[in-house]
Amino acid sequence: MSDMPLWITDIGRLALGKPVLLVEGEDDVVLFEHFLNQHTPGWDLRLHLATAGGKQRVIAGVAVHRPEWIGIVDLDEWSPSDVQAAVARSPRLRALPRFCIESYFCHPVELWAALPPVQRARLGSDPQALAAPVMEKLPDWVAHGAMWRVLRQLYHDTRLPIALEREPVTDEAEIRRILEEWHGRLAPEQVLVQYRQELEVARQLSPDEQLTRYIHGKKFYSMVVVQTLDNLFSGKGADDWLQKFRDAPIQPPDDLKELLDWVLSLVP
């Protein structure tokens, strides 16, 4: 235990002997707490919910340091094979069914259900009054999602060439060849080709899948959903709306309910 990172020992101390559910950040703690309260009141008597401070820390927490703990990470750009590989390495780790926890407040149908009744009444009880200004921004954010994925992959592929890191390379001609190949991946035209290909794939998805699994949920929530709500109701920003949503007595959507059922099945 002496080799445990301090953040792990701190969480263990605060858990007071209860099983631990690790999530990525403070916003995840707030929203998971909300959904758990709606799903199973009294869950906190059985389970301690804590932020690890990032995806890699959640993974390390349940894969290396405390394999008896439970971890949930954002889906982000993970493919089904990425998810399967992570679960195979750590059976008590799962990825969210959606891009991130904020994605549960990006779909206009679910957003309408979470809206306080007084706000719905102000829109004439017409869901389209909320859906239309949100959905009109979706194509731009699908394009953003395509570029985001291309840049994430580019970052992964273009870090310092592994061929030069792995072992000594002293032939300058070989060094030049490796560096030119590496530099070629940064060519703007190549990036644009990858972007166009990714965007074509994204446009084939249904609007539901674009909203839940493809667009960057955190950014879409803060820059589209919150701004739309503020414009419609003279709101006070993301934190104010998040509090309103947390006060709404609605059950989690089915995909999240299934995940919460799995978490609670692992604790006494």
Average pLDDT over residues 2-27: 92
CA–CA separation, 19 vs 68, rounded Å?
Answer: 8
- Report the percent of the chain where pLDDT is more than 90: 68
Q: What is the mean pLDDT of the chain?
A: 91
Confidence of residue 160 (pLDDT cuts 50, 70, 90): low
Is the Cβ–Cβ distance between 164 and 178 less than 8 Å?
yes
pLDDT tens per residue, range 204-255: 999 999 999 999 999 999 999 999 999 998 877 888 888 888 887 788 999 9
Residue 1 has pLDDT above 70, yes or no: no
Is the pLDDT score of 139 beyond 90? yes
57 or 159: whose pLDDT is higher? 57
What letter represents residue 117's amino acid? P
Mean pLDDT, range 26-34, rounded to an integer = 93
41 versus 78: the higher-pLDDT residue is 41
Q: Which helix (H) or strand (E) holds 73?
A: strand 70-73
DSSP assignment of 13-70 equals: HHHTTS-EEEESSHHHHHHHHHHHHHHSTTGGGT-EEEE-SSHHHHHHIIIII-TTSE
- DSSP code of residue 252: P
